[in-house]
Amino acid sequence: MPTRTVTVGATSGLHARPAALFVAAAAAQSVPVTIRTSDKPPVPARSLLSVLALGAKHGTEVTLEADGPTADAALDALATLLARDLDSDDESPDHG
């Protein structure tokens, strides 16, 4: 099963706005994706409450995992998104 490990780039971590952007991107993928931190079990990346419950702060390493024919592309897209500072309007998907 493909995985990607990425460091959270959002300056405030995966709080409400960055988490919502990430969850929306995960929901748009054609395969289910899970996300986890080193100290918590995997949760569905499409669940805002589950992603918020991870408590991932800026600099936290998270692991994404997916299975299916488009898993690698989905993980690459989500890892790229998580590595960015989602708190910056210039880098949000709606403005760039």
Q: Which residue has the higher pLDDT, 23 or 88?
A: 23
pLDDT class of 43 with cuts at 50, 70, 90: very high
Q: Quick check: is 58 catalytic?
A: no
Active-site residue identified among 2, 11, 15, 79:
15
50: closest CA among 38, 58, 42? 42
Residue with tokens 């993980």: 75
Select 3-91's CATH number: 3.30.210.10, 3.10.450.50, 3.30.1340.10, 3.30.70.141. Answer: 3.30.1340.10
pLDDT of the residue at 48: 98
Which tokens in the block code for residue 89? 């309007």
- pLDDT over 70, % of the chain: 92
pLDDT at residue 35 greater than cutoff 50: yes
Q: In the chain, what are the helix, strand and coil shares in percent, each to the nearest 5?
A: 35, 20, 45
User: How far apart, in whole angstroms, are the C-alpha atoms of residue 51 and residue 63?
Assistant: 12
* Domain coordinates in residue numbering, the chain: 3-91
Which tokens in the block code for residue 39? 């100290």
pLDDT of the residue at 89: 57
What contacts 58, CB < 8 A, 6 or more positions away?
Answer: 8, 9, 10, 11, 12, 13
